[in-house]
Chains A and B, each alone.
Chain A
Amino acid sequence: MSETQNNGGSPMTMIQALRSAMDVMLERDDNVVVFGEDVGYFGGVFRCTDGLQAKYGKQRVFDAPISESGIAGAAIGMAAYGLRPVAEIQFADYIYPAYDQIVSEAARLRYRSGGMFTSPLVFRTPCGGGIYGGQTHSQSPEAIFAHVAGLRTVMPSNPYDAKGLLIASIENDDPVIFLEPKRLYNGPFDGHHDRPVVAWSKHADNLVPEGYYSVPLDKAAIVREGKAVTILTYGTTVWVAQAAAEDAGIDAEVIDLRSLWPLDLDAITESVKKTGRCIVLHEATRTCGFGAELVALVQEHCFYHLQAPVERVTGWDTPYPHAQEWDYFPGPARVIEALQRVLED
């Protein structure tokens, strides 16, 4: 956790922290608007926008038709006008109809217009598995956004970062894909699905300042210091990585990337040069997943410090299954196996 996290504030879930970020920014900047499917009156299917319409009115917070390309395209037009839209796609699994608008338009508008038009907007979207969401409520599509020049891709792993990173994303003048691990909405989850889940209210690190603050983009966080091996990860698997290290008694350093792209290369190389060993951990499928880029960067920048091949622990190269949830999700057991392999070399 960031040191600032214990500087006071109120206990919040990730949902409440995200809601608070939008509340703060709606208050601070008249150009911020929030919209998406079920986002207005109802307050969102995950409650992330609860009460915002009542507080700021329908001109600022409103419901949208079920059209992801429409939501994305309208947001780009609004941003080109000068607003700062925060548009929600109900599930990351449903962002594909908006892909043309995001890739061909939002990402390239500044470049292709020589800086004349810009798209300072945020697409918030719940992602990740571990909730028996099956094929279309569990996906982690970060790699297809990290691959796109002109986009920023961000994913928080706790309430404090969720609020600070979302505020930073809304203030940023580049288009941001803000992925929210829905498995972490109500409490941290370390992959031990057979144990009762701890709510954020019962978690030590749940204090979030009420007002304005931000967590810088492009900066990773070391969430667990260690000397034996580096685990590069983000989102839900930040908690899995920590649990695995504890369970196995391995002195692993866990880095929460927070900003996937552009990323904090210095934090990565510093850690791997120190430990000489590295594993990459994510929920997304393996082939051409974001982990491949991380492995390549580590190989390129830390080759002479590496004492073992870099391992990847990821989702399998299959669509996300329902019944086989825990065979698919990269839990602590699989992480420990990888850690042991890397440490044996």
Chain B
Amino acid sequence: MTTSQNPAATEPLRLHVPEPSARPGQATDFSYLQLSPAGSVDKPALDVPASQTAPLTSQLIRVLDDNGDAVGPWAADIDDAVLLRAMHAMLKTRAFDARMLIAQRQKKTSFYIQCLGEEAIAVGQTLALQDGDMQFPTYRQQGILITKEVSLVDMMCQILSNAADPLKGRQLPIMYSYKDAGFFSISGNLTTQYIQAVGWAMASAIKGDTKIATAWVGDGATAEGDFHAALVFAHVYRAPVILNVVNNQWAISTFQAIAGGENTTFAARGAAYGIPSLRVDGNDLLAVYAASRWAAERARSNLGSTMIEWVTYRAGPHSTSDDPSKYRPADDAQHFPLGDPIDRLKQHLVKRGLWSDEQHEKVRAELDAEVSRALKEAETHGLLGSDNRPGAADMFNDVYKELPEHLRRQRQQLGV
């Protein structure tokens, strides 16, 4: 044998294409998640240098242990009232999603996206912010609107694209926009909002304001160029923004390893850009609230941005147009080691005497009824495709501030 001592040199090159550990009919090996025991990860000082957060980006901040007890340095500092509000908002978000899913199956609307299993993240962060802050969400942070107590009827009218749709029928269902609730207009183009949030935060700093921004992106969309741009700008200008990455393990059918998650974490990217970064249990409301509050305080204290990777699981289909049984195990969510965010908060609240099984069922039933009532009311304003829809003349408005001559002519041509 005359081959070199380096065996790699004798093999032809091979393209590496990551795969999830399990496909339909198999069982996922979740050991890739790198979990830490609850309470085991440090809580650094607010002015921690990014380099010192590097170790945190491979660990996982968790507060609730398997018994439902709140433990460790991130456990303190949350009011009972906030916890109860969180539970209410999470239950309401889930009830809303469930009802809208049915409405889509009943062809009352064309499309819907649930956030099943991810409710704690949007709800917990929103509770840690102040009025006037602006969130730049993706299509899976409806929990923000529910927490902000935006009218369900209003949200549903958008989903139904009916005569009372605040966006006048121009937008695909769930692409909400609520300036007063600090909820930026959702775009179909992924990750564009990430750098926009940084710009909004820069503006707040330029004006000497006290408001901060939050940016939201999923694991898959971190691969977009705007993700990189946002991290660079956030770091360079020390922008008061929380950079959230919701790692729900899946981008439609694509496992997070294809987005670049294999043998690394998304939080690690933030630290590498010079941004203090955390990796947090996204199904642990107490951890979500504590980490969000820490990041918000950092931003409001002129200490700059924080990146937070929320480790969670997309328990439902990607959208109503998706069938996850074609690419992942059907029972995957039940085996996800971080469980369900509502079940885990419930266990904790019951243990602390703030909540009970009876209350849980009662509130759930009330919320189901509230959501159903809201849908009935929304339907009185029309369904998608009914005659009770936004007028065709409105199609030409808001392209520009004033209607220009060519659009006036086109509107006339349509005869409206």
Contacts and interface: CB of A to CB of B under 8 A. Distances in A.
A174 B184 CA distance: 18
B189 A74 contact: no
A114 B401 contact: no
B179 A150 contact: no
Contact of A100 (B192, B198, B213, B233): B192
A81 interface: yes
A131 to B, nearest CB: 29
A69 B213 CA distance: 19
B202 interface: yes
B167 A70 contact: no
B203 A104 contact: no
Interface stretch (A11-19, A105-113, A188-196, A236-244): A105-113
B40 interface: no
Given A69-B195, A174-B400, A33 B233 contact: no
Nearest to B395: A111
A248 interface: no
A83 B206 contact: yes
B404 interface: yes
Nearest to A151: B400
Interface of B: 134, 136, 166-168, 170-171, 175, 177-179, 184-185, 187-189, 192, 194-204, 206-207, 213, 225-226, 228-230, 232-233, 236, 397-401, 404-406
B184 A149 contact: no
Interface in A119-163: 149-150, 152
Contacts of A82: 203, 207
Nearest to A117: B185
B192 A105 contact: yes
13 contacts: A70-B195, A70-B229, A73-B192, A77-B200, A81-B200, A81-B203, A81-B207, A101-B226, A112-B171, A116-B179, A152-B400, A262-B404, A265-B406
Given A105-B196, A112-B167, A69 B206 contact: no
Interface string A39-83: 000000000000000000001100011010110011111101111
Given A105-B192, A112-B175, A114-B398, A77 B167 contact: no
B232 A117 contact: no
Q: How big is the A interface, by class?
A: 35 or more
Contacts of A76: 196, 199
Given A69-B195, A70-B232, A77-B136, 16 more contacts: A67-B228, A70-B195, A73-B192, A77-B203, A80-B200, A82-B207, A97-B225, A104-B192, A105-B192, A111-B170, A114-B166, A115-B397, A116-B177, A117-B184, A150-B399, A174-B401
Contacts of B406: 262, 265
Interface string A159-198: 0000000000000111000000000000000000000000
A218 interface: yes
B195 A116 contact: no
Contacts of A110: 398-401
Given A65-B236, A70-B229, A104-B189, A118 B401 contact: yes
Contacts of B230: 70, 73
A81 B194 CA distance: 15
Contacts of A115: 397-398
Contacts of B184: 80, 117
B170 A77 contact: no
A70 B230 CA distance: 7
Nearest to A77: B199
Contact of A114 (B170, B196, B236): B170
A74 B195 contact: yes
Contact of B200 (A78, A108, A111): A78
B216 to A, nearest CB: 13
A97 B232 CA distance: 15
B236 A112 contact: no
Most chain B CB within 10 A, of A64, A83, A218, is at A83
A110 B179 CA distance: 12
Interface in A259-286: 262, 265
Given A73-B192, A74-B196, A112 B177 contact: yes
Contacts of A101: 192, 195, 226
A98 B49 CA distance: 31
Contacts of B206: 33, 59-60, 78, 83
Contacts of B178: 116
Contacts of B225: 69, 97
A69 B229 contact: yes
A112 B196 contact: no
B132 to A, nearest CB: 11
